[in-house]
A = this chain, B = another copy of it.
Amino acid sequence: MTTPPPSLPTTSYAILGMLALRPWSAYELTQQTRRSLGYCWPTAESVLYHEPKRLVGLGLATAKRQAAGRRTRTVYAITEQGRRVLADWLATPPSPPGLEAEAMLRLLYADQGSRQDLLDSVRATRAWALARAPEGLAQVRGYLTDGGPFPERLHLITLFGRFYLDLFELLVRWADLAEAEITAWPRTADLGMTDRTRALLEEMFTRLQPLADRATEQSTPGSGEA
C-alpha cells in the first residue's frame, strides 16, 4: 500500500473514473457528463476543468497539450497509480445517498405560502422529470441499435439507467398524486388529519411494515440460513 491515505473528495473519484474509460479533454467531459455522471454526481462545469489538474498534481493522471485546429487543448489520461487508487476506492463502502429536493422543502413549509405556490412547485418537479424522458429515450434507442459509445459496458450502463428511469417515473407519479390531493384542498394551512390524509397514512403504515421487518431481519444474525 504505497498510495498515501487517499481520501480524496468523491468528485475526484468521479473524474478519475471517467479517465479510466478513455482519455478526455475537459470540454469532452462536460459533454459526456450529461449522459452519465450528471445523473449521480452533479457538479458545475468549472469542476471538470479544475479537477483533472489536481489529479495530475497527485500523479493520478497525465495532461497532454494537443493542437486542436489552430488552438491547443489539454487531454487528460489516467496513470497506473490512478487506476490503483480508483480500484482501492471501489473496495470502500459507499457513503449514503443524499437527495437535495427543494420542492419537498417547499411542500414542508407550504402553509406559509399560497396554494398556487405549492401547485407550481409540484408541477415544476413533474415537468423537470418528464423533460429528461426524450433524451433518455434517445440514449436507450442508441444502445439498442449501435450499442452506444461503450458497448462493452452496456451491462453496467443498463442497470444504471434503470435506476434513473425508476426514479423519474416515481417523481411523475408522486407529482400526479400530490397535485390531485392539493387541488382538493381549500387552502394549505391547518387542514390536519383529513379523511384522505388518514387513508394515505394507513397505506404508508402497511407498506412500511415489511420494510421494517426486513431491516430487523438483516441486522440480527438470524436463526434461519442453515
Spell out A's residues near B (CB within 8 Å). 10, 13-14, 17, 20, 36-37, 39-42, 83, 86-87, 90-91, 93-114, 117-118, 120-121, 124-125, 127-131, 133-134, 136-137, 140-141, 143-144, 147, 151-163, 165-174, 177-178, 181-182, 185, 188-194, 197-198, 200-202, 204-205, 207-209, 211-212, 214-216, 218-219
Closest 8 CB pairs of A and B: A90-B113, A40-B104, A133-B211, A17-B109, A130-B215, A94-B102, A133-B212, A155-B191
Q: Contacts A133-B212, A136-B208; is A17 near B197 (CB within 8 Å)? A: no
> Chain A interface mostly helix, strand, loop or mixed?
helix
Contact B102 A201 (CB under 8 A): no
Q: How far is the CA of A198 from the CA of B162 in the complex (A)?
A: 12
Question: Could you say which of A99, A118, A120, A193 has the most chain B C-beta atoms within 10 Å of its C-beta?
Answer: A99
Contact A216 B177 (CB under 8 A): no
Residue A204 contacts which of B107, B162, B170, B173 (CB distance < 8 angstroms)? B162
Q: How far is the CA of A137 from the CA of B90 in the complex (A)?
A: 33
Residues of B within 8 A of A147 (CB): 192-193
Residue A207 contacts which of B87, B100, B169 (CB distance < 8 angstroms)? B169
Q: How far is the CA of A171 from the CA of B194 in the complex (A)?
A: 29
Contact A201 B108 (CB under 8 A): no
Q: Report the nearest B residue to A219, measured CB to CB.
A: B131
Residue A91 contacts which of B17, B113, B155 (CB distance < 8 angstroms)? B113
Contact A94 B124 (CB under 8 A): yes
19 example contacts (A-B, Cβ-Cβ < 8 A) are as follows A10-B100, A39-B99, A39-B104, A40-B104, A86-B112, A93-B120, A97-B103, A97-B125, A97-B171, A99-B167, A104-B160, A137-B211, A141-B205, A151-B192, A158-B201, A158-B204, A159-B177, A167-B167, A167-B170
Contact A134 B215 (CB under 8 A): yes
Residue A140 contacts which of B14, B91, B154, B204 (CB distance < 8 angstroms)? B204
Q: How far is the CB of A2 from chain B (nearest CB, A)?
A: 19
Contact A121 B93 (CB under 8 A): yes
Q: How far is the CA of A103 from the CA of B14 in the complex (A)?
A: 11
